[in-house]
């Protein structure tokens, strides 16, 4: 069903800057669509994630309402034209799709339902851009249940995600799901240790992100060793090995319901709903080694601090201007929440306030569209008081979003953005082939001689580029000779080797080397090396040889 969305435009300028503390550059908040519950669905909760499709439209879900009061899936153009794509019916395809959607490499969308399905423990599904649903997995309870987050597609093409409950001790799990529907629980959060705590956290509500190191990062709302069930940030490998990056301790935040995001500087950024100096939540920066910095303490104990908002359920998104943007559930000029900006250094400024008419109480992490605008969902407010889809224009530039953001030479990569009339694509200055038509999506192939760096697209109207460096993943296909003594030369062949920073032999011994080309390195067997696989590290990642190199006397 097509319908024209109701729009309410509110511009925040100098007048409101005098009333709301820390007001920065004027931003425009637009109510793009008001949900009506009975038909469209409504009341988007956390994690409530929107996805940008290949056509440039926004795709998402509502957890309730629709024809069966089990939630809906929808499409919304950036101009505000709304289409309901699917009514969830509880029994067949699940109920309450809290988490929203992600765009897959194949152009389809993937999501989860918290309940419903044949066992009433929820489902994982695939949805075409036209709204056709395929169930990939139905939960049994033992393998997870009440999944409030969509999966994340890894570099290997598999889906990785969390369940808030279920697993061995009913405290949540991490799963891997192949495109063919083969589901594996790779980690269950354990209940007790000898100290009677939940060592690696419990109840992971948020989706995972894949870091530049290839590992996944997530948050738990409870558990950890910080005391009082404060939650954690954790790291998990594709094999299911979990380590704690940080245990929240109340002073630095408590109970994160949202995901972390990796900034262009390599650090993780996020929010907590509680903790900090006033107990109303924080925005934080976290290194991958676990050093935390509180960038802002949300307050809400005074008129001025309430105007800035507090209790951020939503996570942060980094804009194309380099700043981070997020929302608060409470506070603002009508106590309906705010939209704020925070720099990597912690400079905080309100961008807009929800006022009920244009939305209220946003819980879902916003999406950065390739047009430079930020889009998100509010839980309530709007004409029917059951939520809205909003956009925030902060005057930031458009950009190119690659899918995926890391790949080996010869791999197909999708490019989202303003690509109409494309005449050229380059990876860190190396030209690449491309195909496709239309104004919002192209397909390219990672060229053999490329290196980690920005992707640029040449069009008649400009040269948009990626915000982050595209990671050229290295490969090692062979080495020769198969054995040799210390001091002898070994030729390594593969791809993506231009930016090699380290070569190691068995025993972790670092070798001297010369990069001959993107496909070849000549390394010298180092003193103390033992028989084992050879490892190569580049700016794009690390790779091991398939076979061991035999060190001879």
Query: 143 or 425: whose pLDDT is higher?
Result: 425
CB count in 10 Å sphere of residue 27:
23
* pLDDT (0 to 100) of residue 146: 82
Structure token pair of residue 370:
């390739």
Please report which confidence band the pLDDT of residue 4 belongs to, taking 50, 70 and 90 as the band edges.
very low
Question: DSSP readout, 176-217?
Answer: EE-TT--EEEEEE--S--TTSSEEEEE---SPPEE-TTS-EE
pLDDT of residue 1: 30
Cα of 43 vs its chain's centroid, Å: 22
Tokens for 372, please give them.
């430079």
Confidence of residue 93 (pLDDT cuts 50, 70, 90): very high
- The yes-or-no verdict on residue 23 having pLDDT over 80 is no
Task: Give me the CATH topology for the region 474-551.
Answer: Immunoglobulin-like (2.60.40)
Same fold, 401-471 and 474-551: yes
pLDDT band at 7 (very low <50, low <70, confident <90, very high): very low
Residue 6: the pLDDT is 30
For the chain, which residues make up each domain, given as ranges?
401-471, 474-551
pLDDT of 12 > 50? The answer is: no
3-state SS record for 429-478: CEEECEECCCCCEEEEECCCCCCCECEEEEECCECCEECCCEEECCEEEE
- Average pLDDT over the chain, rounded to whole? 93
Q: Compute the Cα dihedral for 501, 506, 507, 513 and give only its sign.
A: negative
Triad 202, 271, 253: Cα angle to 5°: 65
Tokens of 521: 């390195």
Which whole number is the average pLDDT over 29-42? 97
Average pLDDT, integer, range 312-332: 98
9 pLDDT band, cuts 50/70/90, is very low
For the record, the structure tokens of 539 come out as: 């700016």
Rounded CA gap, 277 and 272, in Å? 12
CATH fold of 401-471 reads Immunoglobulin-like (2.60.40)
Task: Report pLDDT for 147.
Answer: 87
Q: Is the pLDDT of residue 471 over 90?
A: yes
What is the mean pLDDT of the segment spanning 370-396?
98
Q: What is the pLDDT of residue 145?
A: 86
What is the CB-side half-sphere exposure of residue 109 using CA atoms within 13 A? 32
Across 63-151, the runs of DSSP E, i.e. the strands, are 72-76, 81-87, 102-103, 109-113, 123-127, 133-138
Q: How far apart are alpha carbons 104 and 81 in whole angstroms?
A: 23
For the cut 70, the answer to whether the pLDDT of residue 18 exceeds it is no
pLDDT digits (tens, 9 = 90+) for 53-85: 999 999 999 999 999 999 999 999 999 999 999
Q: What is the pLDDT of residue 200?
A: 86
pLDDT digits (tens, 9 = 90+) for 253-311: 999 999 999 999 999 999 999 999 999 999 999 999 999 999 999 998 898 889 999 99
Is pLDDT of 17 > 50?
A: no
CA distance 513 to 4: 62
- The angle formed by the CA atoms of residues 232, 291 and 535, to the nearest 5 degrees, is 95
Q: Which of 188-192, 203-207, 258-262, 397-401 has the lowest mean pLDDT?
A: 188-192
pLDDT at 21 over 60: no
């Amino acid at each position: 069903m097509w319908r024209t969305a109701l729009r309410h435009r509110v511009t925040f300028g100098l007048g409101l800057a005098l009333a709301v503390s820390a007001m920065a550059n004027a931003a425009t908040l637009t109510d793009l669509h008001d949900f009506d519950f009975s038909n469209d669905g409504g009341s988007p909760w956390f994690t409530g994630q929107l996805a940008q499709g290949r056509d440039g439209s926004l795709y998402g879900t509502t957890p309730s309402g629709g024809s069966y009061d089990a939630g809906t899936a929808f499409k919304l153009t950036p101009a505000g034209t709304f289409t309901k794509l699917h009514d969830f019916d509880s029994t067949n395809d699940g109920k309450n799709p809290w988490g929203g959607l992600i765009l897959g490499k194949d152009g389809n969308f993937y999501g989860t339902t918290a309940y419903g399905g044949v066992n009433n423990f929820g489902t994982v599904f695939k949805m075409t851009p036209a709204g056709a649903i395929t169930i990939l997995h139905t939960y049994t309870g033992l393998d997870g249940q009440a999944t409030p987050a969509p999966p994340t597609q890894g570099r290997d093409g598999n889906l990785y995600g969390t369940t808030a409950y279920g697993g061995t001790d009913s405290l949540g799990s991490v799963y891997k799901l192949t495109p063919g529907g083969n589901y594996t629980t790779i980690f269950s959060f354990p209940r007790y240790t000898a100290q009677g705590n939940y060592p690696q956290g419990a109840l992971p509500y948020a989706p995972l992100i894949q870091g530049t190191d290839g590992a996944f990062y997530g948050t738990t709302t409870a558990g950890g060793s910080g005391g009082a069930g404060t939650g954690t940030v954790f790291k998990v490998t594709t094999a299911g090995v979990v380590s704690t990056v940080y245990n929240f301790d109340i002073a630095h935040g408590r109970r994160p319901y949202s995901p972390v995001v990796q900034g262009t500087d390599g650090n993780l950024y996020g929010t907590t709903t509680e903790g900090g100096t006033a107990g109303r939540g924080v925005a934080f920066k976290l290194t991958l080694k676990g050093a935390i910095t509180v960038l802002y303490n949300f307050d809400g104990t005074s008129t001025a601090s309430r105007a800035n908002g507090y209790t951020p359920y939503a996570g942060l998104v980094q804009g194309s201007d380099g700043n981070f943007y997020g929302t608060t559930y409470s506070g603002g000029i009508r106590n309906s929440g705010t939209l704020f900006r925070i720099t990597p250094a912690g400079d905080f400024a309100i961008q807009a306030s929800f006022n009920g008419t244009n939305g209220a109480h946003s819980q879902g992490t916003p999406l950065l569209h390739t047009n430079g605008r930020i889009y998100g969902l509010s839980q309530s407010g709007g004409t029917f008081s059951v939520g809205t889809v909003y956009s925030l224009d902060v005057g930031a530039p458009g950009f190119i979003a690659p899918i995926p953001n890391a790949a080996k030479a010869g791999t197909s990569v999708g490019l989202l953005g303003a690509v109409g009339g494309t005449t050229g694509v380059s990876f860190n200055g190396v030209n690449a082939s491309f195909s496709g038509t239309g104004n919002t999506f192209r397909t390219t192939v990672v060229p053999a001689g490329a290196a980690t760096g920005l992707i640029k697209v040449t069009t008649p109207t400009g040269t948009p580029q990626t915000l982050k460096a595209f990671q050229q993943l290295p490969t090692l296909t062979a080495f020769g000779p198969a054995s040799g003594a210390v001091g002898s030369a070994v030729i390594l062949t593969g791809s993506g080797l231009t930016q090699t920073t380290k070569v190691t032999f068995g025993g972790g011994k670092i070798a001297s080397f010369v990069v001959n080309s993107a496909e070849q390195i000549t390394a010298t067997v180092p003193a103390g090396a033992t028989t084992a696989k050879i490892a190569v590290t580049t700016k794009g990642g690390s790779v091991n040889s398939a076979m061991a190199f035999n060190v001879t006397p």
